[in-house]
Amino acid sequence: MATLHALVTDTLPTVVKRDGRRVSFDAERIRRALEKAFRATLELPSDTPLSAELSEEIEALTGAVVRWCRDRAEVSVEEIQDEVERTLMRAGRYAVARRYILYREARAER
């Protein structure tokens, strides 16, 4: 399996932010969002180290989203978030996907 670092060295799309700005793709943002969703679902404080298995799973899920993004010249933040949700559900991580969806909804209301 390719590492996240190897995936991000390939050609990646431009990301269209909600305000229309175009920025460089940052796979680390996806990894952090996934980690936060897992921590919230599992009630793990941010200062608690993740198990090696959970870290590997988050890395693999991040890689799946990055590979999906890599096939596009441009991708919106919302499209990336939709793919994160689909990836979590395909992995059977429904509770984490639900937490992620609720976070997105709360954030959209701000």
Q: Residue 84: name the closest of 71, 72, 98 by CA.
A: 98
Q: Give the pLDDT of residue 62.
A: 98
CA dist., res. 53 & res. 32, Å (int) = 16
Q: Categorize the per-residue pLDDT at 92 as very low, low, confident or very high, splitting at 50, 70 and 90.
A: very high
Work out how many domains the chain is built from and give that number. 1
CA dist., res. 26 & res. 38, Å (int) = 19
Q: 39-48, 78-87, 96-105: which has the minimum mean pLDDT?
A: 96-105
SS3 16: strand
Q: Give the pLDDT of residue 108.
A: 75
Q: What is the DSSP letter of 101?
A: H
Q: List, for residues 53-65, the tens digit of each pLDDT value.
A: 999 999 999 999 9
Domain enclosing residue 79, as ranges: 4-109
Q: Residue 79: name the closest of 6, 18, 4, 33 by CA.
A: 18
Q: What is the pTM of this model?
A: 0.86
